[in-house]
Amino acid sequence: MGADAHGVAVPPARDERPVQCFGALTADLYALAAWLRPCQIETVVMESTGVSWMALCAVLAERGFDVKLVDPHAVRHVPGRQTDVKDGQWRQELHTDG
């Protein structure tokens, strides 16, 4: 999640490009939601840092996704994640595993 872009990861079996980046403008947020549908995504886990998550959360909820917010402080010190992409993939994997 960021002011300029949002990285999104879905299970690898659901898309040939399971990690994608979308802009932060309204049209980009709707494109992100539209991409998640054919990937058969029903719930979305996102980190609640700053205010950049709020618009995306609203768009996803409006489109019928179940949005779960993660406290960034609870996962900050987990080892092995060096980039935002790896961080997103890790959250997706944890969410898939329950």
pLDDT grade for 46, boundaries at 50, 70 and 90? confident
More confident residue, 30 or 74: 30
Q: Give me the chain's average pLDDT, please.
A: 82
> What pLDDT is attached to residue 61?
96
CA 30, CA 26: separation in Å to the nearest integer? Answer: 6
Structure tokens at 62: 């409006």
Backbone torsions φ then ψ of 76, nearest 5 degrees: -60, -40
pTM for this prediction: 0.77
β-bridge mates for residue 21, sequence order: 7
- Arithmetic mean of pLDDT, 14-30: 94
pLDDT grade for 87, boundaries at 50, 70 and 90? low
Structure tokens at 21: 């980046």
User: Mapping DSSP to helix (H, G, I), strand (E, B) and coil, where does residue 46 land?
Assistant: strand
Judge whether residue 24 has pLDDT over 80.
yes
Q: Where are the domains of the chain?
A: 5-96
Burial of 9 (0-12, 13-18, 19+ CB in 10 A): buried
CA 57, CA 61: separation in Å to the nearest integer? Answer: 6
DSSP annotation of 63: T
Location of structure tokens 């709020």:
54
